[in-house]
Amino acid sequence: MEIAHRPGGLLAAKIQLKHLSVATTEGYANRPGGAQAKFLAEIGEEEQKRNLTLTLQAFHDYQNGNWPAGPGARELLTFFRSVEDELGELHVTTPVIKHSDQEVITLLGRRAGALHLGVANYCWFLDPDKALCLKLAKAKDRSRPLAGMCDSARCPQATHHPCHRPVWASSAANSRIFIGKIGRGQKTERARLQAQADRAETIVAAIDTAQTADHGGDRGPDH
């Protein structure tokens, strides 16, 4: 497939390999471009729309008293308060104009662009230096988080929301079931499962507390 990486090589490779589409050749050559590049760009646009929707939902949840939990919750709440302050200024300076979610989305845009979805958390990847996964992996590529190494109970950029509760509750329940089935002699495995269950139950409790607490003048949860 070396030919595909030369000037005009994709078309030549397509003819040589008898592919019906250049996009197929791009895939074989591991060289995104043309149709494949357009497809990847469309995926990126859809992901950004999804992230804006999720960030907007998290903001509305905050306004309704349903706060996030997790190590990154306090920072996210501080950001949401700053958005509220800016919206308040807009209402003061332009009181006759009907304001919409589009203004909120504009203010949330950068934060939404940093959002990466974990199975059981949101990762707000704003600062690679704070990303626990990159530290643990000693990663050279710091352009994105490593979802497979995420420890959202400890990473300062991770938050837990109500949509993540079922995952953690299921993890805790499954760990308890396995603990009941293993023999007394398997102390190491029992200790591992116990720690896993305790961790999951702590996160579930924090999510529940963030939804039910009387926030009042509180500045946000620590976990």
**pLDDT of 167-212, one tens digit each?**
999 999 999 999 999 888 899 999 999 999 999 999 999 999 998 8
Q: Among 148, 141, 161, which residue's Cα sits nearest to residue 61? A: 161
Degrees (nearest 5) of the Cα angle 164, 169, 171? 100
% of the chain residues with pLDDT over 70? 74
Mean pLDDT over 116-143 rounds to: 95
Beta bridge partners of 116: 123
Within 13 A of 95's CA, how many CA atoms are on the CB side?
1
Domain holding 205, by residue range, is 48-212
Total domains present in the chain: 1
Residue 221 has pLDDT above 70, yes or no: no
* Cα–Cα distance, 6 to 25 (Å, whole number): 13
The reported pLDDT for the residue numbered 8 is: 42
Q: Among 122, 125, 147, 127, which residue's Cα sits nearest to residue 137? A: 147
Residue 131 lies in a domain: yes
Residue 8 lies in a domain: no
Residue 14 lies in a domain: no
Residue 31 lies in a domain: no
Within 13 A of 54's CA, how many CA atoms are on the CB side?
25
- For residue range 21-63, list pLDDT tens digits in order: 434 444 444 455 556 666 666 777 888 899 999 999 999 999 9
pLDDT band at 94; cut points 50, 70, 90: low
Beta bridge partners of 47: none
- pTM of the complete model beyond 0.85: no
The reported pLDDT for the residue numbered 100 is: 65
Residue 1 lies in a domain: no
Residue 203 lies in a domain: yes
Residue 191 lies in a domain: yes
Residue 13 lies in a domain: no
Task: Decide: 52 and 112 in contact? Cβ < 8 Å.
Answer: yes
